[in-house]
Structure 1
Amino acid sequence: MNDVLEQVLADLAAEGDALDALVAPLDESGWRTLTPADGWDIATTVVHLAWTDECAIAAGTDKEAWDALVLRAMANPEGFVDDEAFAGAKATGAEIYARWTASRPALGAMLRAYPEGQKLPWYGPPMSPTSMATARFMETWAHALDVADALESIGMGARPEPTDRIKHIAHLGVRTRGFAFGVHGLEAPAEEIRVELTAPSGELWTWGPEDAAQKVTGPAYDFCLLVTQRTHRADTDLVAVGEDAERWLGIAQAFAGPTGAGRSPQGTGVAE
């Protein structure tokens, strides 16, 4: 196992622990609190995280189970993710919590044991264990924000303080620039874009050539919120220099699948 994978898994575990602290104390009514994601409550959100972990485990360990999951997805490509979340959310909060807390360590164990140099099959392109762990980090972080926002709306806490662990999401957001254009039916610009983001710690994170004519600068936290569609472009302090850079920030998307509805300005509305 490489050091990068181990670091991502450690950070994934830390994000999972932060979400655990939010949901572990909930009673049954708390699990049914609506999040900003359209139609999803805390129960469906945590079921979705557990289900995706379980899918990854099947992809890496059980070809028959994985093939069955793919067939189910092909039967309803636009709705199978929601279907799984809502079906699983019929369980009690305690059952959902137990399912999720079982899938978390099982996923880590599978990724650590997966043969080096091989990729796991997935609903899109195959993924290396490190890429899978990074994707799971992104989803855990983003959905934990949904849960925190839901609980804050009923006076039960607030968003956790940002940490430099979000660098995984920032890196993914930069790497998926071409994908974001493609998923919107647009040709990705050939010109490089310089990205300079200030981490929560104050460190400067950079991508792209220093002399690039187009540039994105600002808080890394805002960038991560944007590429996971947890904020509206207008509600960030990100600055774009150049037409392509500005267009990118309007469609940025680090997650696979169809474009989401995103959030309306001022943090209201819906999210993927």
Structure 2
Amino acid sequence: MTAPALHRSELAHLLSDQWDAIAALVADLDEERWRTPSPLPGWSLFDVVAHVVGTESWLLGERPPAHDPIRPKTDVTTLPHVRNETGVLNEIWVDRLRPLSGRRLLALYTDVTERRRAALAGMGDAEWEAETVSPIGKISYSRFMLIRLFDCWMHELDIADGLGVSVDEGGPRAELAFVELTNSIGRAVAKGAQAPDGSRITFELTGALPRTLHVAVHGRANIVETLDAPATVVVGMDSGLFARLRGGRTEAEAHAGEFTISGDQDLGSRLVRNLAFTI
């Protein structure tokens, strides 16, 4: 499944809605709840929002605030959850914003997302399709904004899970974001689960984003419309659990009884244990 072609105004509108959804979740938090741990290692709910502030500020050409000399300086490259240059930049923004109050952070979030809305509205078609630097290399700006939608959608789930509340996990934003989780499933099948050549795998997803994914392994693991023979293994689970496993927010061992495996049990077990991927 590929992402549908969207006019830039449509994608900008979905991004705007996504920013509003995050703001609504944190609008009434007191300072203690802002510091609630999120599903992401080392990050509180405050840190998740600070990360979004940092990324959207960076897209406006801004740099992280200066380090407060009164605070001990953290070498973010030594943190166990920081694994690449993008992670370093993310962590610098979070670390520099962390001394603020939640109320002040929300004000910054509101300001930067309003300025991003204006920036997106002012872009022409040439700018929208121009090549730009992103966490996955040089891609078109429009492709980068799809990744931003995915990232912010996942962070909405992070905040909701941290607060122990439910949000609508379906709809246009989710449908578009979910493509980022399904398109690259072949790598998890081949590299993570080590599915042998000739394997035929089906993921049956239920819940807010129901769909059937078929993967055939012939040298490489690729998504296919249909399998040419019965599946070697069928893995069934809720789309929300699939998203969280793919996003590395949880592990299969914590969800016994929430997924089913039919067929090759060993391969199915390897699949659910190795779904995690990050951009």
TM-score (norm 2): 0.67
What RMSD over aligned residues (CA atoms) do the two structures have, in Å? 3.8
Contact 1:194 1:210 in 2 (8 A): no
1:121 deviates by 0.9
Any conservation in 2 of the 1:36–1:146 contact (CA below 8 Å)?
A: yes
What secondary structure is seen at the aligned counterpart in 1 of 2:225?
coil
- Quote the Cα distance in structure 1 between the aligned partners of 2:261 and 2:146: 26
Going from structure 1 to structure 2, the CA distance change for 1:194 and 1:34 (only over 3 Å counts) comes to closer
Following superposition of structure 1 onto structure 2, how do residues 46-125 of structure 1 map, counting pairs within 5 Å?
46-58=49-61, 77=85, 79-111=88-120, 113=123, 115-125=127-137
2:14 is the counterpart of 1:11: yes
Measured after TM superposition, the shift of residue 200 of structure 1 is 1.6
The answer to whether structure 1 residue 128 and structure 2 residue 131 are counterparts is: no
Aligned twin of 2:33: 30
Counterpart position of 1:70: none
Aligned 8 A contact 1:228 1:253 in 2: yes
Alignment partner, residue 70 of structure 2: none
SS for the counterpart of 2:205 is strand
Q: Aligned runs of 1:1-272 on 2, under 5 Å?
A: 3=6, 5-58=8-61, 77=85, 79-111=88-120, 113=123, 115-152=127-164, 158-164=165-171, 165-180=173-188, 193-198=201-206, 200=208, 204=211, 206=213, 208-211=224-227, 213=231, 216-234=235-253, 235=255, 236-237=258-259, 239=261, 247-256=270-279
Structure with more strand by fraction: 2
Determine the C-alpha separation between the residues in 2 that align with 1:150 and 1:12: 22
- How many angstroms apart in 2 are the aligned matches of 1:240 and 1:125? 38
Tell me how far apart the structure 2 counterparts of residues 168 and 190 of structure 1 sit (CA, whole Å).
30
Unpaired segments ≥5 residues, structure 1:
67-72, 153-157, 257-272
Q: Name the CA distance, whole Å, in 2 between partners of 1:43 and 1:168.
A: 26
Tell me, in whole angstroms, the C-alpha distance in 2 between the residues paired with 1:249 and 1:53.
33
What is the percent sequence identity of the aligned residues? Answer: 20
With over 3 angstroms needed to count, the CA separation of the structure-2 counterparts of 1:93 and 1:109, relative to structure 1, is: same
The 10-residue stretch of structure 1 (187-196 or 41-50) with the greater mean CA deviation from structure 2 = 187-196
Q: Whose helix proportion is higher, 1 or 2?
A: 1
Distance in 2 (alpha carbons) for counterparts of 1:190 and 1:56: 44
1:97 Cα deviation after fit? 1.0
Conservation of the 8 A alpha-carbon contact between 1:199 and 1:205 = no
Largest Rg, 1 or 2: 2
Residue segments in structure 2 that go unaligned for 5+ positions in a row:
65-75, 79-83, 215-223
